[in-house]
Structure 1
């Protein structure tokens, strides 16, 4: 099956069918510890099994999920599923959480769906747009200015190390606060990217690299006419280590800010 409109309809049906179970499970406790400050609930596992079975049965396309993995994503066609995005929010009874689903062809997201049952919002798009919210098409993103925009910002621990150290994230947040005092930390990459695609946010700074977190939202922002790169301005791919997504104009200002911060860190290192 290759017709994207038909596949998008099937994906919508699958997520609609799982939405009531998603809502019933809000507040589910941690069941599987996956690392520091990272866990899955029993509902994560249940929803991924249910959705994966249905998508495979109805489309013949395999699923790569957060909890159980799946086919590699650089070639061929696969669904990419995050059954519960914003798991800590979900487990705490916070409404900012959702289900993320993308269709990836040769490593490129061509369908993106972000279902937010707690908010009654369903975002869906295919490559080329438009983005639909609850079945109604949204206008394409207009060029904007960072000073007028709300920006979604990823969570962090200031003492964290790794690919993008916590202190860099903290300093980046400080630099952003000078240019836009309207930062929002939702605790859900899916929400940050869907709200960027819809124009609620002017942009989103995402430090995570997992395809199940990013692919659906990247598809939405691109379909809306937004700009998507990594934090260094390179075109986003399924292997990218971060996401910088924003409306035209806002993206350029965000990238300039990030480059200034990278240069400042480099200059400080040279002085030591």
Structure 2
């Protein structure tokens, strides 16, 4: 198993390396496909997903579930999960905080995670049991930390937004968090928030989204680094989870307590 995963990680890393120059070339690409309110894809999203999906399947035999074209269900079996451009708004605007996310999922559990940030020349990779590698160098496991000392990545929101996790809850949580940490960061990229958490740049990340292509790679990285990953209610994260709370030990517990206090009056709305 370990040897197989190491070989698959090597193959996937090589394919992302091959795609990185094209990714960089397309930074600033305009919207090409509207997917919904405040959501779109560029031509590079489509191109990169087609190319990487075909090559991953050819080299490994496993199917690919991508953001743009879908794929097999992920609760059982083995499949790659691909986001060819995470942080699409950033990417289209010429902002360098964007990247390519790839995970291998077996029976709903991410066993490989890769986050390539070509604009920053950073490549994060890990097998589920660790260690975490950044640009090929082994990183030290995350140490126990305190929320008051940590930067925290925070997901974007519209205060008037409804849905699974209402905007007003996110706003209230941001306010409560600001009282304990003056170092909240909104990067506009789930992949970056989770990769930075895995490497210790951030002490934690609060992710309101539920899409597996956004979350699976980063979950694998944080777990490999010795971090704690749950949903916002403290339940073990699964591929079907509707949110992510990832953080260093100690910081995670403090964040979870803060979320619980904030959510008491809207707990039924936060996530079912």
Q: Following superposition of structure 1 onto structure 2, how do residues 201-220 of structure 1 map, counting pairs within 5 Å?
A: 201-220=202-221
> Equivalent residue for 2:67?
66
Q: Name structure 2 gaps, 5 residues minimum.
A: 268-272
> Equivalent residue for 2:270?
none
* Corresponding residue pairs, total: 266
Q: Name structure 1 gaps, 5 residues minimum.
A: 267-272
Shift of 1:258: 0.3
> Equivalent residue for 2:253?
252
Computed over aligned residues only, the root mean square deviation of the Cα atoms, in angstroms, reads 1.0
TM-score (norm 1): 0.97
Partner Cα separation in structure 2 for residue 37 and residue 131 of structure 1: 34
Partner Cα separation in structure 2 for residue 262 and residue 100 of structure 1: 30
Partner Cα separation in structure 2 for residue 265 and residue 91 of structure 1: 35
2:172 matched to 1:171? yes
Shift of 1:264: 4.4
Shift of 1:262: 1.1
Shift of 1:115: 0.1
Shift of 1:127: 1.1
Q: Following superposition of structure 1 onto structure 2, how do residues 102-181 of structure 1 map, counting pairs within 5 Å?
A: 102-181=103-182
Shift of 1:265: 4.4
Shift of 1:263: 1.6
Partner Cα separation in structure 1 for residue 237 and residue 185 of structure 2: 22
TM-score (norm 2): 0.97
Per-residue CA deviation, residues 11-70 of structure 1 (Å, 9 max, x unaligned), is 000100000000000000001000111000000000000000100000000000000000
Partner Cα separation in structure 2 for residue 153 and residue 249 of structure 1: 18
Shift of 1:172: 0.3
Partner Cα separation in structure 2 for residue 127 and residue 57 of structure 1: 23
